[in-house]
Amino acid sequence: MIKAASLNQSCQTAFTNGGQSSFADLPVAKGGAGLGFGPHELLEAALATCMVMTVRMYADRHHLPLTSVNCDVRIDRSAIESVALFYALTLEGNLTTEEKQLLQAAAASCPVARTLAARIAVVAT
């Protein structure tokens, strides 16, 4: 569970999982001070970090010669009825084409990708 609370600055918001803490903010152009990640950037970060972690774990488990993995994620909210998350995965290492395909498939099925691809409800409790 994540808990969030407003800070003294207009849009700055602290958040914690009980063990780690950080804060978010909006860009200056949107009324914030630009001193933290924006909410949509955190969504992009959730997907990118999950993909990187999943690929790394898969490579380690299967003893694949992956030396590094990077993931860029961009959200596109320009369509009225839908949202798209575009990602680019960069795999480094002496990998065969088949190994790269396996790692790409692992990234695409990471837990956050599966969550975001599901029908999501936002419910007040």
**Cβ contacts of residue 75 below 8 Å, gap of 6+?**
40, 43, 44, 83, 84, 85, 86
Q: How many helices (H) does the chain have, and how many strands (E)?
A: 3, 5
Instruction: Give bridge partners of residue 76 from the DSSP assignment.
Output: 84
Q: Is the pLDDT of residue 10 over 90?
A: no
What's the pLDDT at 1? 97
Q: What is the pLDDT of residues 64-104, one digit of tens each?
A: 999 999 999 999 999 999 999 999 999 999 999 999 999 99
Q: What is the pLDDT of residues 15-26, one digit of tens each?
A: 999 999 999 999
Q: Is the pLDDT of residue 9 over 90?
A: no
Nearest to 65 by CA among 94, 99, 91: 94
Q: What is the pLDDT of residues 107-121, one digit of tens each?
A: 999 999 999 999 999
What's the pLDDT at 98? 98
